[in-house]
Structure 1
Amino acid sequence: MSLHPVDIVGTGETVLHLVSAVLMYQSDRGDVYATSHPVVPDAQHQGRKVIGAGVPLSKGALAKFADAVSAATAFAGFLPANLLFSSPNLIAWWAPAQVRMTWFKAAGSGKVAGHGEAAHPALVFVATPNDWFVFALAEDARPAPTTRLRHAPHFNVWDGGRICTGNVELPPTFGAEVIHSYENAFFRSHFTHPNRDKAVKYKGGIQRLWLDQLDSPDPAAMQRALVDSKETLQEAIARIAARTNN
């Protein structure tokens, strides 16, 4: 399980004292058991505290604790219209199809280099505190949980949709309020190299696709080139959430 820092914001100087601890246990089947422990002075070492004997945490107390954590970590603010899913450690949103200025930086014969306008399909982005992913959509419309995704036809994208960050600067904070910053980091970066075989269905492959797009943006040709990812939006989010929680 990965641990993430928590920011504690106060209006003045705030002193926090450790007073109790909750220990959680989980079986291989996913059963969860929790105990609550007071934090007490250590009789053998002055000034030090230890976790005392615990008592089982009831389902009601555990639910109350979970609600408090959820309230403290939930997004507070107006929801962006393109937001699809939000949890403390994962957000997903979609971007409509659009002809965009696109940059490539690659050397060698036959590789894409330079910049120009190119057609991009409708995309779904999924971001976690440490990673981000992108998928394409077969239609230029807001997807539902059961919508089947397509592989993003872009360079620098691995199987499973994970984006190779390279030297791209991601937003310093995580949450729905920085969706625009994530999109800028993706669309305004230099695409450098293909990361997967058979990324598109196009004569000449992914490099030819983008060279042709730079020569003359063609949204219909881009749409026809998309490859089925064999995952729905709901399935992709569940997979990425499980990866994040491990």
Structure 2
Amino acid sequence: MQVHVSIGENHRFELREALLVYRDNQGSFITRHDVTARKDAPPTLGPAQPLTVAFIESLMRSLSGSVQAEVLPANILAKADRMVVWWTPAKRRQMFYENSEGRAAALNGRIFPQPPLVWKVSNGELIIRAITENKRPDCSTRLAVAPFWNLSDDGHVCTGTMRRPDSASVAAIPAWERGFYESAFTHANVGRLTRHEGGFDGLWSGLAGKRSRFPLETLIVLPQTLAQFVRGERG
């Protein structure tokens, strides 16, 4: 029996190798087998062979396709095929609020000083943390809660109707930032977002329209470091 897969008119794939996955309650392992096609009979598997790094790298290249190299600007902190991490220094941005209870309605459309931020896009999700110094963080820099509505306690952005790119490329970074700030901040997902004595409302009400810097001392510092953030660890 001949075993093959045809895709369109230009590609013809034949069964040459097979991977078998063995599992139990403790974990799993994988073996690789050569496949021998037989005429008028099912194909047979050869003896189990250990996986090699070269085979895995070859498989990953064939699955992901050709990834174009990118020149990384200075704001990039980490980059992988489906992940990019970058930082933005303190700046002023317009913010939009839309809340059914009318909270923060007076802040809608105003321009506010922003803290320096660390952004991460991974598998289509946006995660944001703040930092307490207006300089490029290193792997040991401790991060802080980004004091915004629409964020969960681990920094994930509730994107809702936010317009977001499909890519984690360097070129898509401006679109991710624009999508975040142009969407409406609608609700608080966690209890405490700031150390400001007036809470969230007092913080942003006091900053509306101001040209002063964001009060970094009001940020809630976390045990999580930048290295842990990149790896997806809570800290």
Q: TM-score, structure 1 length as denominator?
A: 0.77
Q: Counterpart of 2:201 in 1: which secondary structure?
A: helix
**Aligned CA distance change for structure 1 residues 105 and 146 (closer, same or farther; 3 Å):** same
Kindly report which structure 2 residues correspond to 1:166-181, keeping only aligned pairs within 5 A, or say none.
Answer: 166-181=160-175
Pick aligned residue for 1:235 from 217, 221, 228: 228
**What is the number of residues matched between the two proteins?**
222
Counterpart residue number, 1:129: 123
Equivalent runs, 1:23-38 vs 2, <5 Å: 23-24=20-21, 32-38=29-35
Q: Which has the higher helix share?
A: 1
Q: State which of 21, 28, 33 in structure 1 corresponds to 2:18.
A: 21
Is residue 140 of structure 2 the alignment partner of residue 150 of structure 1?
no
State the shift of 1:72 in Å.
4.6
1:160 aligns with 2:154: yes
Q: Which of 77, 82, 94 pairs up with 1:89?
A: 82
| Structure 2 counterparts to residues 209-228 of structure 1, below 5 A | 209-221=203-215, 223-228=216-221
1:198-220: CA deviation from partner (whole Å, max 9, x where unpaired): 11011221122112211424324
Shift of 1:174: 3.1
Secondary structure at the counterpart of residue 91 of structure 1: strand
CA RMSD of aligned residues (A): 3.0
Equivalent residues of 2:114, 2:214 under 8 A apart: no
Inter-partner Cα distance in structure 2 for 1:42 and 1:158: 58
Task: State the 1:74 CA deviation.
Answer: 4.8
User: 5+ residue gaps in structure 2?
Assistant: 1-7
Does the C-alpha gap of structure 1 residues 77 and 109 become closer, same or farther in structure 2, counting only changes over 3 Å? closer
1:77 aligns with 2:73: no
**Structure with greater Cα Rg:** 2
Unaligned runs of 5+ in 1: 1-11, 242-246
Displacement of 1:30 in angstroms is 6.7
In structure 1, C-alpha distance between the alignment counterparts of 2:23 and 2:84, rounded to whole Å: 26
Q: Hey, what does 2:93 align to over in structure 1?
A: 100
TM-aligned CA distance change 1:117 to 1:17, over 3 Å: same
Name the residue aligned to 2:199: 205
Shift of 1:26: 6.9
